[in-house]
Structure 1
Amino acid sequence: MMDNTLPSQNAGLAALEAQLAEDLSLLELPAKSWVPRRQHEGEEVRDVVVIGAGMCGLTATAKLVLSGIDNIVTYDAAPEGQEGPWVTFARMETLRSPKILTGPALGLPRLTFRAWFVAQWGQAAWDALDKIPKNQWMDYLVWYRKALDLPVKNDVRMTSLEQEGDLIAVTVEGAETGRILTRRLVLATGRSGLGGTYVPEMIRTIDPRFWAHSADDIDFDALKGKRIAVIGAGASAMDNAATALEAGAGSVDMLIRRKEMPRINKMTGIGSYGVVQGMHRLPDLWKWKFFDYTARTQTPPPRNSTLRVSRHENARFFLDCGLESMAVEQNELVIETTQGEMRFDFLIAATGFVNDFDGRAEFANFAPFIRRWKDGRETPEMGRPRASLSDAPDLGPDFEFREREPGSCPMLAHIHCFNDAAMLTHGKVSGDIPAVSAGAERLVQGIAASLFAEDVETHFKNLQAYDTPELQGDEWVDATPSLHEGASV
């Protein structure tokens, strides 16, 4: 990547990196390497492989390295600097989180966005900053990776997983091709988690020339002068609508099924240390109640994203507008809605993501064995089933997958789901900025404990073999002989 920073900014970053290095030294971090090295039939075995180098993947990788688990590698399919959504399908202008959140800093003040920002632009600029521009957040994550010298390899995609004895064989292709053996696997795969984008069947039957999902690579310049429909009322719906309008779309109509726009972000209202540390310990019924309620009330789009749309005279909001059917007629997209027929040139479906293990070829060898929330967890007290929750994986305390049938796929206990799909089991600690450090701490504590237990015989042998004396034998004089001499007299 080209370095566009000014000399003063570079000097500020250099000073910050020196301070960070001193802080790490004072805390004796990274901890000494402690996991015994392994080989399998002459092949090196990694302790952990992390898939995904977005924010969650970087935070997990950093925590592993700082904890002395350093025989690891992190892969990302994207080119360097394009990991995660920030400069790809995230089309908002700024982050939605307050600038003061420490995010992936892992309790290290010099690793925060604020420290990074102030080092380059000063305190006055920080005080004047409202929300963090999303591209600037990506710049910070690039620096985060560099400052900690994290072992990330780009342009590498995982294509399959297999069990190899008590190990996991990860097949990759791209800038690195082949098979990697690992003891633990972390899936830090972001919003798409373990599935992908959700598109209603009604839309999927339409020629793809006439529609795209909001997470797709959309050529907005090609939409100039066109009549655009956007399905949804969430943040991504607003951001895509605004991007189309700013690119010169002839008109943008927001087709919103709800009779009223959601206005209150419920989970933000109760955010606390207690929520972060307590949600995953709640009984299942309470977890379900929290997330079912927030799903029913829905999260509103940010005010600035909504204003970004409504400031355009050629934008319209259709509430209580459900879709009934759609078809292509004479190069037009004809949508029958509860408010009548509407005609468009293109549709953007801001319809979210789905946990669809069976839809991903790389998960084929273990997907049938994964326990989900709908596998014996739902009860009448939980109310009607909700697919977005029911299909979520039912994870263990360390984000590890659990088997639907005990003994059917032991490999699952060594695969950790550190992405948005973990929310129902663990709370919002593996996808959003506020609590990602707490999530990484929970994840790595579990991995460290399991690796230690797995190697307990080796650690005990090391205990027995350790023979460096603390005392040299010249620290005292043995009075026993003189005592015996005095007794004989």
Structure 2
Amino acid sequence: MSLSLPLGAAGLAALEDRLRHDLLTLNWRARAWLPPRTHEGQPVTDVLIIGAGQAGLAASMALAQQGIAAVLLDRAPADYEGPWATTARMDTLRSPKELTGPALGVPSLTFRAWFEAQWGGEAWASLDKIPRLQWMDYLRWYRRVTQPDVRNEHTVTAVHPRADGLVAVDVQAPAGHATWLARRVVLATGRDGLGGPQVPAFMRGVAHAAQGGLWAHSSDVLDYATLKGKRVGVIGMGSSAMDSAGTALECGAASVDLIARRAVMPTVNKSKGSGVPGLTQGHHDLPDAWKWRIRHYINVQQVPPPHGSTLRVSGHANAFFHFGCAVQDVTQVGHALHVATAKGTFAFDFLVLATGFVIDWAQKPEFAPFARHVRTWGERYQPPAGDEDRELSDSPDLGPVFEFREKAAGACPGLDRIHCFCYPAALSHGTVSGDIPAISDGARRLASGIAGLLYREDVEHHFAALQAYAEPELLGDEWTPADTSQRILPSP
């Protein structure tokens, strides 16, 4: 396949012209229809999105199609939102290149259109997976052409739901501290959206690298060049473990030992097998037992690391894969860490925990004003014996628009004005709020739902506007009244 577009900057400019026309013909950025609000002289934002990564950008774009302007707050500097150019370490994305991600059904907004405009159809055909940093470049372009209202280096310090129909959001920014007021708040906070790194109990008492210690989590900011010549241990055998191990090896680590509790490496990605439109659209309406059964099955089966990521590691002679090595204890001995496992003790100069993320409100102090009031699935559903799952049990029980629900009715007024559009929504809604495959589906569901909620809240205003609407369709001179008596039968 080849394109008629020129390549490079000229090709991209031509694509952007096409995109502008597409958005014009689709009537994107629909006419604003919400009444502006203030509270005690302070403007009220209709929708405030916390996070300007791919989920936040997609949500903002979907809201714009509904005629709703959002403001996005992100703590990162411009062009470094999300993990892609900071803590992610894979060479390429794990998703197939054909997935359209946050394009929301607009062909000229897809990664493929962006790529082909610059490098052509033959280059696309030869591309295997999307390079991670190139995906970040695409998201930067996506932000530039969709023009969301993003405020970078704005760190949210507290979120306060209120009983007056508003949510107060405390923000620390370069200009100082401020409190924003919003009618709706969307948490587009990523994989660790309601928590942070999962640190196993065996690490208690062992100093983290940030405190001068000898270990870090795979999601931490870490200069892997400092691992040159060192014996590196990696706890885990999933995708992030391979990414960390591969990076350490390429930075000159003397050796890398990957340690897994599991007896064998999983080889089938069951999560990929579940990716059909019926589940994407229908997960939220499934019975509780089926929601739990599907998500728990995927968790138990475990997602294998990608083929390329594994080869990236196994291609090094100084990489070692260890299975059936459940970690029992980690202690520091001199300038090394001794890792005791079911098969013996390893000695490492540095240890990376590729142990994933956990829902842990304590790691998100900005949510402390409402965290204890959020109803979880553990309080909603009791799984069959043997199907217990801590991740699922801790997941929030969300409403149809990703809104939090109260644990005790009336205990936290306004909690349902906060929408959880990040990975922990997976049990309630399926994987539509973070991962690339269905992010557009989730964004449209969120945006259309919020539009409906805002209309219902203002229905009196909108009805009054309907009554006051007086733009004439006819001026009265388009016809001449007939002399009816000349057109009817005469009276008998």
* Same-fold call, TM cutoff 0.5: yes
> Does residue 1:318 correspond to 2:322, yes or no?
yes
Name 1:39's counterpart in structure 2.
Answer: 38
Deviations 1:404-455 (A, max 9, x none): 1111112111100000010011001111101000000111111000000000
Q: Displacement of 1:152 after TM fit?
A: 0.9
1:427 maps to: 430
- Aligned match for 1:333, one of 331, 334, 337: 337
Quote the offset at 1:486 in angstroms: 10
Which residue of structure 1 aligns with residue 140 of structure 2? 142
Residue matched to 2:442: 439
Equivalent position of 1:412 in the other structure: 415
Contact 1:161 1:170 in 2 (8 A): yes
Task: Give the TM-score taking structure 1 as reference length.
Answer: 0.96
Q: Which of structure 1's runs of 4+ aligned residues deviate more than 4 A?
A: 480-488
Q: Distance in 2 between the 1:328 and 1:27 partners? A: 61
Aligned 8 A contact 2:7 2:120 in 1: no
Structure 2 matches for 1:154-233, cutoff 5 A?
154-164=152-162, 165-176=164-175, 177-208=177-208, 209-233=213-237
What CA distance in whole angstroms lies between the structure 2 residues aligned with 1:485 and 1:372? Answer: 74
Distance in 2 (alpha carbons) for counterparts of 1:8 and 1:386:
50
1:401 matches 2:423 = no
Q: 2: CA distance between counterparts of 1:347 and 1:475?
A: 83
Kept in 2, the 8 Å contact 1:289–1:382? The answer is no
Which one-letter code corresponds to 2:122 in the other structure?
Answer: A
SS of residue matched to 2:377: coil
Contact 1:192 1:354 (8 Å CA) reproduced:
yes
Q: More displaced, 95-104 or 404-413? A: 404-413
Partner Cα distance (2:247, 2:235) in 1: 15
Whichever residue aligns with residue 144 of structure 1, its letter is Y
SS at match of 1:193: coil
Q: Secondary structure at the match of 2:466?
A: helix
Q: Which residue of 1 aligns with 2:3?
A: none
Is the 1:73–1:153 Cα contact (8 Å) retained in structure 2? Answer: yes
SS at match of 2:221: coil
Residue aligning to 2:88: 90
Partner SS state of residue 15, structure 2: helix
Cα distance per residue 1:53-87 (max 9 Å; x no partner):
111111001111121002x2101111111111111
1:286 corresponds to which of 290, 296, 300 = 290
User: Normalising by the residue count of structure 2, what TM-score does the alignment of the two structures yield?
Assistant: 0.95
Contact 1:358/1:368 (<8 A) preserved: no
Cα–Cα, structure 1 residues 96 and 484, in superposed 2: closer, same or farther, change >3 Å? Answer: closer
Deviation readout 1:331-372 (Å, 9 max, x if unpaired): 211111111111111100001111112432111110010000
Identify the residue that residue 16 of structure 1 maps to in structure 2.
15
Cα distance between partner residues in 1 of 2:76 and 2:108: 27
Following superposition, the deviation at residue 477 of structure 1 comes to 1.1
Aligned residue number for residue 465 of structure 1:
468
Distance 1:484 1:432, change over 3 A: closer
Distance in 2 separating the partners of 1:81 and 1:346:
31
Q: Provide the secondary structure at the position in 2 that maps to 1:366.
A: helix
| 2:161–2:417 CA contact under 8 A, matched in 1 | no
Residue 158 of structure 1 contacts residue 170 of structure 1 at CA under 8 Å; is this kept in 2? yes
Residues in 1 aligned to 2:32 and 2:303: alpha-carbon distance in whole angstroms: 43
Residues 421 and 382 (structure 1 numbering): CA distance in 2 closer, same or farther, change over 3 Å? farther
1:268-279 equivalences under 5 Å are 268-279=272-283
Q: Which residue identity is paired with 1:178?
A: A
Deviation readout 1:205-258 (Å, 9 max, x if unpaired): 202211000000112111110111000011000000010000000110001110
Q: Is the contact made by 1:285 and 1:382 (CA closer than 8 Å) also made in structure 2?
A: no
Are 2:380 and 2:397, in contact at CA under 8 Å, matched by a contact in 1?
Answer: no
Is the CA contact (8 Å cut-off) linking 1:227 and 1:251 kept in structure 2?
Answer: yes
Q: Distance in 1 between matches of 2:489 and 2:271?
A: 80
Name 1:236's counterpart in structure 2: 240
Question: Are the counterparts in 1 of residues 296 and 387 from structure 2 also a CA contact under 8 Å?
Answer: no
